[in-house]
Amino acid sequence: MESPKKPSELFLKACDNVVGGSGMIQHCQCGRVTFNPDTTWDWEEGEMDEYLDKAEKDPDRYIETEYAPSTIMLDGKDFVIGCPCNALAIFEGLFWNSRRLIAEYLKLKAEDIADRAKTETETAAKTVDAVHKIEGE
Ligand SMILES: [Zn+2]
């Protein structure tokens, strides 16, 4: 999954706010590997040199960054935030173009959760009343 269009800065910021994973090496669903040699995590012996070598030989697939790369999981797949595949732009387009449906679903879901919580609260109150009656007898 790749897109010629980049996701907006606003969408990337939203992804960053709910980020799934961050670390020295992240794998994107597109097959690219993003890594940061400056992270404080422990590299295994020779591992960093191996990635730097791969980045020199295949710079489109192995991407060195100056920040700890992060991923977000969508549809069961990891997407590296800022990866050149720009696949997150596809989700941004889907979410924005479906915003009325998404907003309606979230509203109905929230109402359903609130209704069930109210029912649970009423059941708990009836149970407490029943216990008090038994204890009072
Ligand atoms: Zn990617």
Model pLDDT, residue 40: 67
> Ligand 1: distance of its center to the CA of 104 in Å?
31
CA distance 22 to 20: 7
Model pLDDT, residue 60: 94
With tokens 């097959």, the residue in question is 31
The domain locations on the chain are 9-97, 98-137
Model pLDDT, residue 54: 95
pTM of the full predicted structure? Answer: 0.76
Model pLDDT, residue 63: 96
Question: Please, which residues bridge with residue 79 across strands?
Answer: 72
Model pLDDT, residue 137: 66
Listed in sequence order, the residues at least 6 apart from 92 whose beta carbon sits closer than 8 Å to its beta carbon are: 7, 8, 11
> Ligand 1: distance of its center to the CA of 34 in Å?
9
Residues 51, 7: contact at Cβ < 8 Å? no
Give the pLDDT of the chain (137 residues) as one tens digit per residue.
888 999 999 999 998 888 866 788 999 999 999 999 887 677 888 888 899 999 999 999 999 998 889 999 998 999 999 999 999 999 999 999 999 999 999 999 999 999 999 999 999 999 999 999 998 86
Question: How many helices (DSSP H) and strands (DSSP E) are in the chain?
Answer: 4, 6
> Ligand 1: distance of its center to the CA of 129 in Å?
58
Model pLDDT, residue 2: 87
> Ligand 1: distance of its center to the CA of 51 in Å?
17
